[in-house]
Amino acid sequence: MNRFKGKVAIVTGGSRDIGRAIAIKLAKEGAKVVVNYNNSESGAKETLDQIKSFGGEAIAVKADVSKLNEIKNLKAKTVEAFGDKVHILVNNAGGLFGRKVLQELDEAFYNLVMDVNFKSVVFMTQIFEPLMTKGASIVNLSSQAARDGGGAGSSLYSASKGAVSTFTKAMAKELGPKGIRVNALCPGLIATKFHDDFTKNDIRKKVAASTPLRREGQAEEVANLVAYLASEESSFLNGNNVDINGGLAFS
């Protein structure tokens, strides 16, 4: 398939896991991809290497997308490399950063979680929307945690992803008249470093066993759904929060 030939795509948090899978998927289908990263330059290089191995076109740009001035620099680098039109924006950057119950929360941790998971989506959308024209698509990464409150010690993560889900609906209404569609995904248990770092193995096995498909999801499966939402094949889908969790929970 070559659904994105001639199109420019930006993927935040593209240095590993779901972000990497999305960047590779879009590039395989012809998009010129801006792979954003913050801390993992080596991971971003690996994403680029994989894209270039099949003849894809991509650049890596370091930017902390929770900071407005760095988002503006990301925009400048994008325009410099690929011109002043962006057709696909995937707001994937995010993180849990630790499991803390209510009495363990402090202001610094609150700001970190909310800024990376939600502020980034708001201002990436604000800064790049002027480059997007009729037919463009924004895909945000929310979470099943936005639906059910998440696991133990993830209240702020869940709340930040809930904000992403609601912002998605608001932007679908605001940007829809311009022909820009905005949708989100709500992944369940996906086999990524996120869960390697923050979810105990026995919990993962229990959740997988409770899932009707009896397994964890894969990053590539999320990427396939992102590509669909970014394509003209989903041209009348707008404002949706699409579950991808193997049937564990329904909206």
Does 159 fall in a domain?
yes
Does 1 fall in a domain?
no
Does 244 fall in a domain?
no
Sign of CA dihedral 188, 193, 195, 198: negative
Does 109 fall in a domain?
yes
pLDDT tens-place string over residues 216-250: 889 999 999 999 999 999 999 999 999 999 998 87
**Model pTM?**
0.95
Does 177 fall in a domain?
yes
pLDDT tens-place string over residues 142-184: 999 999 999 999 999 999 999 999 999 999 999 999 999 999 9
Q: How far apart are CA 202 and CA 217, in angstroms?
A: 17
- Report the number of distinct structural domains present in the chain: 1
Residue 78 sits in a domain whose CATH number is: 3.40.50.720
Range of the domain at 145: 8-235
Active centre residues (catalytic): 157
| Per-residue confidence (pLDDT) for residue 192, from 0 to 100 | 81
Does 242 fall in a domain?
no
Q: Which of 51, 33, 40 is nearest to 90 (CA)?
A: 33
Does 106 fall in a domain?
yes
| Per-residue confidence (pLDDT) for residue 200, from 0 to 100 | 81
Could you identify the residue written with the tokens 């945690």?
Answer: 145
Q: How far apart are CA 124 and CA 145, in angstroms?
A: 22
Contacts 24+ apart (CB under 8 A), 197-200: 197/96, 198/96, 198/98, 198/99, 199/151
Does 246 fall in a domain?
no
